């Protein structure tokens, strides 16, 4: 499985597309298809009210920038320049960078460099999603990411940063003094990303979310490599931790059951992974999980009876056990996969 749907909200704001020529062409084509069965000329389409509202108050929405993935009609640099001209970017607080031209073939570097070069045009930016690309554009493991620390350096007032895609992804530098939320979405997480997080100066970081994924799609992160995080000796402000989309969730939960960091956390998210009854039994028997306020176990491989046992064992904890799944079976063998891999 992978990611099919575009965000409708980011950083607490509705997401609005700044229309590229490709998006506008698609919108007109949809309008004509709707009108055609009625046997009448399509006429002009309805105005894009969300775009109009966002243009009137650029701080009221999260702006998404994306062009057609394959042979777009508009060069990204021209599209970005038009955005700077048509929208008061000095008031934008949230930005979502979607597909650039051929994200499977082309690195995100050129888009990164555009943002860095024009950082002064976004003085109010507080939240940035870099690489919101869905299945119809590229598998998550096919996205050609890049070194992204220059984005953090260019926006010192950033509070939230999300990046999707682990291929070519890198962080470097000292850290970020104001960053409060960091999310790294991958089908396979490189250990180098984890090492940077553990060594960087991130004094304000309260929420860390890592999608671990599988070895076949680039994961080199190990439980041993996560040990400093689980020890609770790094990231002094951390109160919410997500270790999601893992192919070894049961082993991860075993490690967490003995991890000092749990005493500091209010929320733990190990959803979208491979939780089976073995991991559930660890949760049921471990005192450590009872200090949490919230435990997210969505997209698990538990039957209803075991799920109820987990809930009963954690009476003071909000436990999310939605979206039970069934394992795959091939040639008499049973396989458990995380939700997002390739």
Helices 76-86 and 109-117: crossing angle, nearest 10°? 30
DSSP 3-state percent helix, strand, coil across the chain (nearest 5)? 35, 20, 45
Q: Does this model's pTM top 0.85?
A: yes
Residues of the chain with CATH 3.80.10.10: 171-342
Residues 175, 208: contact at Cβ < 8 Å?
A: no
Which pLDDT value is given to residue 74? 83
**For residue 337, how many C-alpha atoms fall within 13 Å in the half-sphere facing its CB?**
14
Q: What architecture is the 171-342 domain classified under in CATH?
A: Alpha-Beta Horseshoe (3.80)
DSSP string, 224-257: TTTHHHHHT-S-TT--EEEEEEETTHHHHHHHHT
- The pLDDT assigned to 44 comes to 67
Q: For position 29, what pLDDT does the model report?
A: 61
Greatest Cα-to-Cα distance within the chain, rounded to the nearest angstrom: 68
Per-residue pLDDT of the chain (342 residues; tens, 9 = 90+): 569 999 999 999 999 999 988 776 665 666 556 666 666 666 666 778 899 999 999 999 999 999 976 777 788 999 999 999 999 999 999 999 999 988 888 899 999 999 999 999 999 999 999 999 999 899 999 999 999 999 999 999 999 999 999 999 999 999 999 999 999 999 999 999 999 999 999 999 999 999 999 999 999 999 999 999 999 999 999 999 999 999 999 999 999 999 999 999 999 999 999 999 999 999 999 999 999 999 999 999 999 999 999 999 999 999 999 999 999 999 889 999 999 988
CA-to-CA distance for 306 and 293, rounded, in angstroms?
A: 20
Beta strands in the chain (DSSP E): 9-10, 13-18, 62-65, 94-97, 127-130, 160-164, 181-185, 207-213, 240-246, 267-269, 294-296, 318-320, 328-330, 333-335
DSSP 73: S
Other beta carbons within 10 Å of 321: 21
**CA separation for the pair 73, 28 (Å, rounded):** 15
């Amino acid at each position: 499985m992978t990611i099919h749907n575009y965000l409708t909200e980011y950083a607490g704001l509705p997401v609005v597309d700044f229309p590229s020529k490709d998006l506008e062409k698609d919108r007109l084509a949809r309008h004509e298809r709707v009108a055609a069965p009625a046997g009448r000329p399509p006429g002009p389409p309805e105005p894009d009210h969300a775009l109009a509202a966002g243009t009137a108050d650029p701080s009221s929405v999260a702006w998404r920038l994306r062009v057609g993935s394959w042979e777009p009609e508009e060069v990204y640099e021209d599209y970005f320049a038009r955005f700077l001209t048509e929208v008061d970017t000095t008031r934008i607080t949230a930005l979502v960078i979607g597909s650039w031209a051929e994200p499977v073939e082309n690195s995100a570097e050129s888009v990164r460099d555009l943002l860095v070069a024009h950082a002064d045009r976004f003085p109010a930016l507080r939240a940035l999603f870099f690489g919101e690309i869905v299945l119809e554009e590229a598998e998550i493991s096919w996205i050609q990411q890049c070194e992204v620390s220059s984005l953090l350096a260019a926006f010192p007032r950033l509070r939230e940063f999300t990046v999707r895609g682990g291929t070519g992804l890198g962080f470097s530098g000292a850290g970020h003094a104001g960053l409060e939320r960091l999310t790294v979405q991958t089908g396979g997480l490189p250990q180098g990303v984890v090492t940077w997080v553990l060594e960087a100066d991130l004094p304000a970081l309260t929420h860390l979310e890592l999608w671990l994924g599988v070895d076949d799609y680039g994961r080199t992160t190990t439980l041993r490599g996560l040990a400093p995080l689980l020890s609770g000796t790094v990231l002094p402000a951390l109160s919410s931790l997500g270790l999601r989309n893992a192919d070894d969730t049961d082993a991860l939960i075993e490690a967490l059951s003995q991890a000092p960091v749990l005493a500091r956390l209010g929320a733990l998210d190990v959803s979208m992974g491979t939780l089976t009854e073995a991991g559930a039994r660890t949760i049921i028997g471990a005192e450590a999980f009872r200090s949490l306020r919230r435990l997210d176990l969505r997209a698990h491989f538990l039957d209803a009876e075991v799920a109820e046992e987990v809930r009963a064992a954690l009476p003071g904890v909000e436990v999310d056990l939605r979206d039970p799944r069934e394992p795959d079976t091939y040639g008499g063998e049973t396989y458990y996969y995380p939700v997002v891999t390739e």
